[in-house]
């Protein structure tokens, strides 16, 4: 089973997500993941030290894909449209692993430590989404924007998990409505980017 060649991290991530889709995430062990990835536990340990690290790497992989697909000319479209696009593309990247994500989220909410780590990860990813569309995430205003976008993303993620339509219409409508509401609030609080004031 084991080879001297260092295994591809993506192989381990995909194995973990596949197992998460088949059973409760809390019941999936690192040994299970190693067997599914067809590597030894030692090889897995060389790359990931915990299941949390594997999930973080999965999120990073999604980030890279989404951000690399974002147009460089961030001023060509309204911020609302750009955020709508980038968050919907993020959900498209997650779609092949929807069942696994549901399993992970269900068990993460019951684990305070994992929930804290997950929330930090979400804030970091939402900061990148803001930066990718030309909106600052630094400073007090940036942190408020980041937390607001994280709240929108998490509520949209919940709708998405229960949206079985082919066009993801419920998800899109919820995200659009939430972004527009946040945009109006940001303008009132003078937190909106200059182009929206």
pLDDT digits (tens, 9 = 90+) for 16-41: 999 999 999 999 999 999 999 999 99
Question: Residue 130 has what pLDDT?
Answer: 92
Pairwise pLDDT comparison (91 vs 113), residue with the higher score: 91
- Rounded CA-CA distance 7/18 in Å is 17
Contact assessment for residue 82 and residue 72, using Cβ atoms and an 8 Å cutoff: no
- Rounded CA-CA distance 184/68 in Å is 29
Mean pLDDT over the full length of the chain = 87
Sequence-separated (6 or more) residues with CB below 8 Å from residue 100: 16, 17, 18, 19, 20, 21, 25
Chain-centroid distance of CA 18 in Å reads: 17
Contact assessment for residue 192 and residue 183, using Cβ atoms and an 8 Å cutoff: yes
pLDDT digits (tens, 9 = 90+) for 137-191: 999 989 999 999 999 999 999 999 999 998 999 999 999 999 999 988 766 555 5
Residue 74: pLDDT over 60: no
């Amino acid at each position: 089973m084991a080879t001297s060649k260092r295994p591809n991290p993506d192989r381990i991530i995909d194995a973990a997500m596949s197992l998460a889709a088949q059973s409760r995430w809390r019941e999936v062990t690192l040994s299970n993941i190693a067997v599914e990835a067809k590597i030894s536990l030692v090889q897995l340990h060389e790359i990931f030290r915990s299941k949390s690290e594997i999930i973080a790497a999965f999120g990073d992989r999604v980030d890279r894909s989404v951000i690399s697909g974002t147009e460089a000319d961030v001023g060509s479209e309204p911020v609302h449209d750009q955020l709508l696009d980038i968050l919907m593309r993020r959900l498209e990247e997650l779609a092949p692993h929807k069942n696994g994500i549901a399993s992970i989220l269900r068990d993460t909410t019951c684990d305070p430590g994992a929930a804290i780590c997950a929330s930090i990860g979400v804030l970091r990813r939402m900061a990148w989404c803001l930066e990718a569309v030309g909106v600052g995430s630094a400073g007090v205003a940036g942190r408020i924007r980041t937390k607001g976008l994280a709240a929108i993303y998490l509520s949209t993620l919940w709708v998405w998990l229960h949206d079985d339509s082919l066009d993801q219409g419920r998800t899109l409508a919820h995200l659009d409505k939430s972004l527009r509401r946040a945009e109006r609030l940001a303008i009132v609080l003078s937190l909106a980017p200059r182009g929206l004031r």
